[in-house]
Amino acid sequence: MRMSELSRITETPVPTVKYYLREGLLPPGRRTSPNQAQYDDEHVRRIRLIRALLGPGGLDVATAREVIAAIDSDLPLPHVFGVAQRAASVRVDDRAVDAAALERVDALLDGFAIHPENPGRIAAAAVLEAFDAVDQRNADDWSRRYVEAALIVAEADLDTVERRVTRDEKAETVVVGTALGDALFAAFRRAAQEHVSTTRYEPERADEIRRARSTP
């Protein structure tokens, strides 16, 4: 297909497709003349991946390029996971994190097989420090339940990866699942917070709210 058709199918403006090509996010098409190229279903799939990473996934162009390169590489899946985790994580300078906060995180993650530089470990320590700064000093009990929920979600992530057949499918699922999974979990958490708040503090309104959602 020509670029105009690729643009139509993916609902992506032609200038945006050209931008993806210039930035190395989208592989070039097959040249048919000096100023013409043909594209195929893999380009359609790649554009949809790019839009997912830049949109709901919240990645910038440089970071999206990095994780796409990991998909296209021969890196083993654990390394792809590492790239995806770093890409999807808030950058925290481990030198700015208090050692005591890291020790608390390590206690919460006791038995976990993770590297010291795991971005989640460092970010969690920074969050615990922030909890302390606003006098939320009961955060460790709170955090234990988060760890339990995170382990359930991580098992679901890897179960999904294992259902994919090829290495490329697995790698793409790793990247998409890590970037979009964060957004999905946060979205369901918001919904769950309202549900628990309503059923705990306003149980008499629960059925009314359910009916409102089911009404066209």
Q: What is the rounded distance in angstroms from the CA atom of residue 144 to the CA atom of residue 128?
A: 12
Q: What is the rounded distance in angstroms from the CA atom of residue 118 to the CA atom of residue 98?
A: 16
pLDDT of residue 210: 85
CATH match of 1-54 with 1.10.1660.10: yes
Mean of pLDDT over the chain:
89
Tell me the per-residue pLDDT of 127-165, one tens digit each, with 9 for 90 and over.
998 888 888 777 788 899 999 999 999 999 999 999 998
Mean pLDDT, range 112-139, rounded to an integer: 87
Q: What is the rounded distance in angstroms from the CA atom of residue 35 to the CA atom of residue 13?
A: 18
pLDDT of residue 87: 79
pLDDT of 90 strictly over 80: no
Positions of CATH 1.10.1660.10 in the chain = 1-54
Whole-model pTM: value is 0.80
pLDDT of residue 216: 63
